[in-house]
Structure 1
Amino acid sequence: MEKTEPKKDRSVDARILSYEEYRKALFQLHVGLVKLQEWVVQSGSKVCIVFEGRDGVGKGGTIKAITERMRQHNA
């Protein structure tokens, strides 16, 4: 079977990341999420986050981790 090039019109970067690049990107995203959580707590704002992805990719665990952290601040 012949390999095909990734489509150029995707809204996400379709290149393959090394493990180190992946971990760095994941860490940066995590930092951004924590900053968002702190802003929500400090400002009292309400936020709606939409999670997309196939079954079994960790959406439920991520949602649980976020809501547990937010509950701690509201207790």
Structure 2
Amino acid sequence: MGYEGHAFNFLGLEKENSDYANSRFAILPVPYEQTTTYRKGACNGPHAIISASREVELFDDELKFEAYLEGIHTLDELEPTAE
């Protein structure tokens, strides 16, 4: 699932700032719900975080740094297995 006109990745970055080969950072979404005891839904967390990240300011005021310029790649979701 994506947003029209934008890639569905962390911060909604363009390819030049999210290509795996050129990225310094990587985001690994893990929709894990194996140990949930109260209410189901933790498996939706990675998608919700990536969706919300599109509203984050790209400039970090405290660090005076724009991490996305170093490249942030969003990996495919890791599918947990029950053992």
Q: TM-score range by the shorter chain?
A: under 0.3
Higher share of residues assigned strand: 2
Structure number, greater radius of gyration:
1
* TM-score normalised by the chain length of structure 2: 0.25
Higher share of residues assigned helix: 1
* TM-score normalised by the chain length of structure 1: 0.27
